[in-house]
Amino acid sequence: MNNNTLRVIRIVDGTSVDGPGLRTSIYLAGCNHCCPGCHNEDSWSFKAGQDMTLDIILDYIEEQDFDVTFSGGDPMYQIDGLLPLLKELKNRGRNVWCYTGFTFEEIFNNPERRRVLDYIDVLVDGPFVQEKRDLSLRFRGSSNQRLIKSRVSTPGDIKYWADD
């Protein structure tokens, strides 16, 4: 794997459960959070799925013409490939959501991972916590997870996405 590829488990088109509207959801391989009750333990392996070049992923997204969500696994383990793809998606005007098991603060305080925050419209952050599972929540599984407007937030001043 290098800066021009991502390890992709699967791509789902036209989904309405990973953010507003119909979206292309890209599930990236690998996760070390090991949340009890995880929806997809098969995604924990960094060898799951297949390598895909950024060009092929971009072409696919353009063909479908939906906004984009990254999930997994945890996309934050593939920063080197994710960052150039995010930049290109924002250049092309796509709205981008990203799910992660890290908190916003953990990402913000990590110089490597922090670079992606400028190119993600909404970060759904934090691990899945079984005791806080709540089926009534939109776009997230447990109440500790937050829908954060990552491009305009700082740890001391978090702005939340709301469907309004």
Ranked by CB distance to ligand SF4, the top (closest) residue is: 101
What is the footprint of ligand SF4 within residues 97-116 (CB under 6 A)? 101
Smallest distance from the beta carbon of 41 to ligand SF4, in angstroms? 7
Which residues between 21 and 50 bind ligand SF4 (CB under 6 A)?
31, 33-35, 38-39, 43
Question: What's the min distance (Å) between Cβ of 113 and ligand SF4?
Answer: 14
For ligand SF4, the closer CB: 93 or 138: 138
Q: How far is the CB of 13 from ligand SF4 (least distance, A)?
A: 21
72 token code pair: 């997994």
18: Cβ contacts below 8 Å, ≥ 6 apart: 25, 69, 71, 97, 99, 139
Q: Give, as ranges, the residues between 120 and 159 that touch ligand SF4 (CB under 6 A).
A: 127-128
Which residues of the shown chain bind ligand SF4 in the complex (CB under 6 A)?
Answer: 31, 33-35, 38-39, 43, 72-74, 101, 127-128
